[in-house]
Structure 1
Amino acid sequence: MTDLADSLTLSASGLRAQAARLRHVSENIANADTPGYHRKLTRFEPATGLDGPSGAPRTGPALLDPTAPEQVYDPAHPLADETGHYQGSNVNLMIEIADAREAQRSYEANLKMFDQARQMSRGLLDLLRR
C-alpha cells in the first residue's frame, strides 16, 4: 500500500510543480508590456526523501531570465533616456505560450496518474473488504 501512497504523493507533487510553472507563465504574459520586467523561470528540484518520496518534483526559488530586455525607441515615453530609448521586457509571448501548453499537458498527465493510483487504491480496498 505504501507504493500506491507514494505514487499519489508523487503525482500531487507534480501537480503543484506544474501549477507553480503555470503561475509564473501567467505573470510573464501579464507583464509582457511592463518596462524593465524580467521573465520568471521555474526551477524544478527533486525531493531528497526527507520532504517527500525521493525524486518527487518540487519547485525551487523563481529565477529571472538573464536575457537582456529589448531596447524600445519612444522619445515621448517618460522612461526614455536622452537617445529616446527605454528598456522593455524580455518576455517572448511565443515562448510563454509554448511553456503554458507544455505545463498544461504535464499537469494533465500528473492528474491522470493521480486518478489511476486512486482507482487502484480503491480496487485494493474493495478486494480487502471481501
Structure 2
Amino acid sequence: MVDFANALKVAGSGMQAQATRLGRLSENIANADTPGYHRKTISFHAAMSAGQTDGTVETGPVRLDQSPLEQIYDPSHPLADESGHYNGSNVNLLVEIADAREAQRSYEANLKMFDQIRQMSSSLMDLLRK
C-alpha cells in the first residue's frame, strides 16, 4: 500500500505543477497587450526528501523573460516617446497557447495515472476482503 501512496503523491505533484504552470500561462495571455509586460516563465525540478528524489516534482521560482520588448509605433499612445514608439510586451500568443495545451495534456495524463492507481488500490482492497 505504501507504493500506491507514493504513486498517488507523484501524480498529485505533477497535477499541482501543471496547474501552477497554467496559472502563469493565463497571466501571460491576459497581459499580452499590456505595455511593458514581461512574460513569466516557470521551471520544474525534482523534489528532494532526505537527500533523495522521491519522484515528485516541484515548481521553481517565477522568472521574467528578459527577451526584448516589442517596439510599437503609435504616436497617439500616451506612453509613446518623441519618435512615436512605446514598449509593448514580449508575449507571443502562439507560444503561450501551445504551452497551455501541453500543460493541459500533462495535467490530464497525471490525472489519468492518479485514477488508475486509485482503481488498482480499490481492487486490491476488494481482493483482500474476500
| TM-score normalised by the chain length of structure 1 | 0.95
Aligned-residue identity in percent: 65
Pair 1:88-2:88 in alignment: yes
User: The residue matched to 2:45 in structure 1 has which SS?
Assistant: strand
Give the gaps of 5 or more residues in structure 2. Answer: none
Question: Over the residues paired in the alignment, what is the CA RMSD in angstroms?
Answer: 1.5
Q: After superposition, give the CA deviation of every residue in 1:57-87 in whole Å (9 maximum; x if it has no partner).
A: 1111111111111001111111111111110
Structure with the higher fraction of residues in strand conformation: 2
CA positional deviation for 1:55: 2.9
Aligned residues: 130
Pair 1:37-2:74 in alignment: no
Would the aligned equivalents of 2:46 and 2:53 in 1 still touch at CA under 8 Å? no
CA distance in 2, matches of 1:112, 1:62: 27
| TM-score normalised by the chain length of structure 2 | 0.95
CA distance in 2, matches of 1:63, 1:42: 6
CA distance in 1, matches of 2:53, 2:9: 7
| Cross-structure match for 2:67 | 67
One-letter code of the match for 1:47? A
